[in-house]
Amino acid sequence: MSEHELREGLQLAVADEPPMSFDIDELVTTAERAVRRRRALVAVGVSTAAVAVVAVTVPVVLGMSGTSEEIPVAAPPPPSASAPSTPPSAPPSSVTKPPLTKQQLTQRGNEMRTYLNTQLPKVAPTAKGVNTLPFGGEAEGAVSDGQAYLDAFVKFKVGTVPTAAAVQVRNDQEHQCDGSCQDLPQPDGSKVVIETTNGPAGNNPAMTIVSAIHIRKDGTLTRVSAYNYDPTSGSAPVYQPDVALTVDQMVRLATDPTLHL
């Protein structure tokens, strides 16, 4: 089929086309109206969303949680503004502890007696055959209501030489240096006094007694003394070159928190 014949056939096919049943102008007007309405709805939706965002944002910006107002928190101080450290204070000598009854004193003495029998060999490994005598006052094992102290001898041997150490605990800090004394400050602010006595009046100049006296912050006192002879023998002393315990060993016992009244 030629191009001419094709064109004639198409013209004949639409020659009797029926008239349109709608108005083109009215259709265009309706379409424009729909477009304007859709744009208006979109604009309203965007505005509503913006208002909702603002409604949520405003309380957050103002630091509010809906119904109650939050109190602002102060900023922490800079590192350089930290409080200065307080140096340890001296032992409070004015501190006093209530007196104990006879029953309390007896119980405390028995506890320390049992403790020393096992603790002294740990502190002084050369001490053998340790035997702590009963704690008392004016006499061995004698206590009374309100007594301010307890003391006892701890017997032992160094090699084959018998000797003893004295342990005294006080409810106060009554102490007077009777020989050469040296203070040893302790980490907790208390102090230990090392007292050395050679040949007290009326005694042999060869006699030596060294004591470690812990003056505690709670108002109490613990004293441990070592001798260069046996103070419990009841016979003429046999003096040794040095006392039976070292200063370090006596300090360890005197500062032991278990030994207290």
What is the domain partition of the chain in residue ranges? 16-73, 102-254
Overall pTM > 0.75:
no
Q: Which two tokens stand for residue 25?
A: 């102008």
Tell me what percent of the chain is helix, strand and coil, each rounded to the nearest 5.
Answer: 30, 20, 45
* One pLDDT digit (tens) per residue for the chain, 261 residues: 555 555 565 555 555 555 555 555 555 555 566 555 555 444 444 444 444 444 444 444 434 444 444 434 334 434 433 333 333 434 444 566 788 999 999 999 999 999 999 999 999 999 999 999 999 998 998 999 999 999 999 999 999 999 999 999 999 998 888 889 999 999 999 999 999 999 877 789 999 999 999 999 999 999 999 999 999 998 999 999 999 999 999 999 999 999 999
Q: Which two tokens stand for residue 258?
A: 């278990």
Which alpha helices (H) appear in the chain, and where do they start and end?
Answer: 3-13, 24-61, 102-123, 247-254
Q: Which helix (H) or strand (E) holds 156?
A: strand 149-158
